[in-house]
A and B are shown apart, each in its own frame.
Chain A
Amino acid sequence: MATGTPAIDGSGASARFKRSRSRHLFEQLIGLSLFACAAVTVVTTVGIVAILLAEGLTFFTEISPLEFFTGTRWTPLFQSAGFGVLPLVNGTLIVALGASLVALPVGTLAAIYLSEYASPQIRSIIKPVLEVLAGIPTIVFGYFALTFITPFLKDTIFPEIGVFNALSGMIVVGIMTIPMVSSISDDSMRAVPQELREAAYGVGATKFEVVTRVTFPAALSGIVASYILAISRAIGETMAVTLAVGATPRMGFDILDSFQTMTAYIVNVSLGDTPQGTTEFRTIFAVALTLFAMTLLMNLISARVVQRYRERYE
């Protein structure tokens, strides 16, 4: 915050160059308030991690980590309490995997279209629409899954589908993350120098060959980064899956049935009547800590990939 440089012998400034005290104060004030804003993010992060760790570690003094991470029965609120988190992880990963199966291919192909095939006019229409899609509140997607997708699936393909089911959750979370995949992939493909495309055209490549053999491979790191971010987003998604997938923690892969994701569990307990300060209540911190570790890992991987992507062309 030191803005002034001391005069060599402390005095002797002529009136012309004399430092204005009020201006100096003002500059310092500006610097301080900007720092305060930046500090909020750091303090918040540290605070959240600290609370997660404190409550989570308290939980792990009551329930052994071994039981927590390997148990396959999650019934913390029942008489015969089971504290195995795997059913929740199972639900979360199933939804994330299914959502990826929707978002990654569709997002990638949309990005290829936008960056390589679309005319500027069409692009100028689709881009904003994708941004609107990205801006729709996730609770709306959950509602959409519950009131439209599930009934539609029941009437058409899967009559036996439950009111709450993983499949509709996968579809909406997938749709929700398409903009993330397409927008980052589009950016990274457009960042591929035009000279590379011309080089390929220059030896007689067709447009499809240019895209598949030059543009896409050259942008691959950015595209993979978008995948990881999208999966990470799908893992952390809350409201849509709470509404669509339901609240049945279970192992298995029957996607027509209800599951419970880690986030949905946290919602249920937070909104329920579980008394604070109990082991039952602290489960949400342990679950949140696990979730945090998972998404943090994904984000770290993505940061590595993006970094490699930056070093790409020279």
Chain B
Amino acid sequence: MADSTNSNGGVAVVDEQVADERDAAVGASSSGRDFRPTLGAAQIDQQEDTIEDVAVQIDDVGLWYGAKKAIEGVSLDVQRHEITALIGPSGCGKSTLLRCINRMNELIPGVRIEGQIRVDGDPLYGSDVDPVEVRRAVGMVFQKPNPFPKSIYENVAFGARINGYKGNMDELVERSLRQAALWDEVKDQLKESGLALSGGQQQRLCIARAIAVQPEVILMDEPCSALDPIATQRIEDLMQELAADYTIVIVTHNMQQAARVSNRTAFMLAEEDLVGRLVEYGRTDQLFTSPNDSRTEDYITGRFG
């Protein structure tokens, strides 16, 4: 079986390549293959840097908004139960890439995606893949806290209700709120509107809402950008705790945040052609202390972006 990374190079319509992609996926995920950045030998890490347990495998993903190409040829493997950060300057496609992992980009008319992404080896793209099921397995926390204009309780129960959850809803709500480190603050006001909470509390409510569905992967799109430093601190602590149970991929503008919370970091960049590509991917300590690519170094030392 060929290395799946480039098995379907070129511009192919997603639907057509599903069958062989899935075959490739089985081999790739069971072999637990080494991480090999596709960008040249210079970037291969000298230290132990293998991904033993791939939760999310991003395979040669490209995306167009209409005629405009936004990202191209991004391949990276995400280690299970770790925090992986996507960093890069504005417009580098990091949020776009993140939103490919739960097929959120398809809500935008005119978006076309190539390549494949797999969660536990299961492909997310294909004519017979239901994006609704994908999003149940890959939850998301957004940039701006976006609780529903419903009660705190109903916010958390929402996903479970639509998924036909049969268990004890009260327990699920309490467990999710505890996991999101919000229970003690809201346990006496569960019937009140989620909008009555502070920004940081709202964001933890949104995290509780996401984990109530029991996803495997949680995507976070700049989850702290609208929060003050104390609220940010709490969310970061929470992310560390959640990483024990969930695989987390976070997009952040804040390099200190990436350095503080993540195990691995991917640096993306859109150069003159404005198409976002992966420049470097590796252990966060490694990438921040001795990056292999000069562009990474320029970015993390603040020379641009």
Contact = CB atoms under 8 A, between A and B. Distances in A.
Interface in B109-126: 109
A193 B298 CA distance: 37
Contact of B146 (A195, A204, A209, A213): A195
Interface stretch (B132-140, B253-261, B276-284): B132-140
A201 B107 contact: yes
Contacts of A193: 146
A9 interface: no
Interface string A211-230: 00110011000000000000
B158 A200 contact: yes
Nearest to A206: B132
A195 B102 CA distance: 15
A213 B162 contact: yes
A154 interface: no
B18 interface: no
Interface stretch (B20-28, B30-38, B39-47, B205-213): B205-213
B290 interface: no
B206 A204 contact: no
A185 B234 CA distance: 40
Nearest to A313: B149
Interface in A223-248: none
Which of B132, B163, B213 is most buried by chain A, counting CB atoms within 10 A of its CB? B132
Given A209-B162, A213-B158, A213-B162, A202 B148 contact: no
Contact of B158 (A195, A197, A203): A203
A259 B12 CA distance: 67
Interface residues of B, number: 27
B177 to A, nearest CB: 15
B148 A204 contact: no
A191 to B, nearest CB: 12
B102 A205 contact: no
A197 B149 contact: no
A218 B149 contact: yes
Contacts, number: 69
Contacts of A217: 149-150
Contacts of A195: 142, 144, 146
A118 to B, nearest CB: 11
B210 A202 contact: yes
B158 A202 contact: no
A198 interface: yes
A272 interface: no
Contacts of B209: 199, 203
A196 interface: yes
A47 B286 CA distance: 81
B154 to A, nearest CB: 10
Given A195-B144, A198-B142, A213-B158, A204 B109 contact: no
A314 B107 contact: no
A81 B158 CA distance: 63
A203 B136 contact: yes
Q: 10 tightest CB-CB pairs across the interface, nearest first? A: A203-B159, A204-B136, A195-B146, A202-B140, A204-B135, A199-B146, A203-B213, A209-B162, A205-B162, A206-B132
Interface of A: 119-120, 193, 195-206, 209, 213-214, 217-218, 312-314
Given A199-B146, A203-B136, 7 more contacts: A196-B149, A198-B142, A201-B135, A204-B135, A204-B162, A204-B163, A213-B162
